[in-house]
Amino acid sequence: MSTLPTYFLSHGGGPWPFMMDQVGDRYGKLDASLRDIPCQIGVTPKAVLVITAHWEGRDFMLSASPKPPMIYDYGGFPPHTYEVQYPAPGSPELAAQVQQLLEAGGHRAVLDPQRGYDHGTFSAMYPVYPKADVPIVQLSLKYGLDPQTHVEVGRLLAPLRDQGVLIIGSGLSYHNLRAFNAQGAAASHAFDQWLQQTMALPPAQRTAQLLEWERAPAARMAHPREEHLLPLMVVLGAAETDTASMPYHEDAFMGALAVSSFRFG
């Protein structure tokens, strides 16, 4: 199997793939970009490792259940979205392998046999693998949200790409829920333009600039708290010398916001 790319996905809002009758075309472009991923990579991966913005710990945490439950970590959505099931199997074996890779690199990692799929995982993965037939392991962020730490962890994960593991960071390129409308338009566009320019830089310069993301235009308006940006650091670290591309972009997400996803390799 050839080396798989890595992805940073802007995962959309809440359980949107299970509300297509309600949201209409609002998520059509995102849905199409996610459904295209199997065609882009050309193979069925052995498993998917999802770095999720919706889980943080004092150490890096890994979901280790063979049958992860569901976590409905959202509010105000239709009743049926609290009964959604995405029964993709877990992979305790991959979780243990990732634990070994991280600890060999000096980063403590803890297996969590109870952790379920949060909406950043199941909402992003359902369009990609709607049959829920590819095993998934979730990797948390670490408290402190230090960019350098998360890039380093990504570097430790790089060998998995040659072993049939698809590495996905699930977050959002703009995540200010207090300005998730026209009020945030200018900030989202300024920050998104900076992200696109950064992704086009030579690898070493790209990493250096991303580590200094707080210097970007409208950085703290786009990410008052950076947990939805940090998955990008991990997937970049896992494919640090690869060319970046942008498989998904919208200029008017939620009517006004600029959001993007990125692929490395």
In sequence order, what DSSP letters do the residues of 103-136 get, joined into one string? HHTT--EEEETT--B-HHHHHHHHHHSTT--S-E
- Hey, what amino acid is at 241? T
Whole-structure pTM value: 0.97
pLDDT for position 21: 86
User: 25-43: string of b/e by CB count within 10 Å (b at 16+)?
Assistant: ebbeebbebbeebeeebee
Give me the numbers of helices (H) and strands (E) for the chain, helices first please: 10, 8
Q: Domain spans of the chain?
A: 6-264
Contact indicator for 119, 69 with CB cutoff of 8 Å:
no
pLDDT for position 128: 98
pLDDT for position 1: 66
pLDDT for position 24: 77
Rounded Cα distance between 237 and 152, Å, is 6
Rounded Cα distance between 115 and 140, Å, is 11
CATH architecture of the domain formed by 6-264? 3-Layer(aba) Sandwich (3.40)
246 SS3 class:
strand
240 SS3 class:
coil
Rounded Cα distance between 194 and 216, Å, is 7
DSSP string, 182-233: GGGHHHHHHHHHHHHHHHTS-HHHHHHHHHTGGGSTTHHHH-SSGGGTHHHH
Nearest CA among 52, 31, 57 for reference residue 143: 57
pLDDT for position 9: 98
Digitized pLDDT (tens) for each residue of the chain, 265 residues in all: 689 999 999 999 999 999 998 887 889 999 999 999 999 999 999 999 999 999 999 999 999 999 999 999 999 999 999 999 999 999 999 999 999 999 999 999 999 999 999 999 999 999 999 999 999 999 999 999 999 999 999 999 999 999 999 999 999 999 998 888 999 999 999 999 999 999 999 999 999 999 999 999 999 999 999 999 999 999 999 999 999 999 999 999 988 999 999 999 9
Give the tokens for residue 177. 């829920």
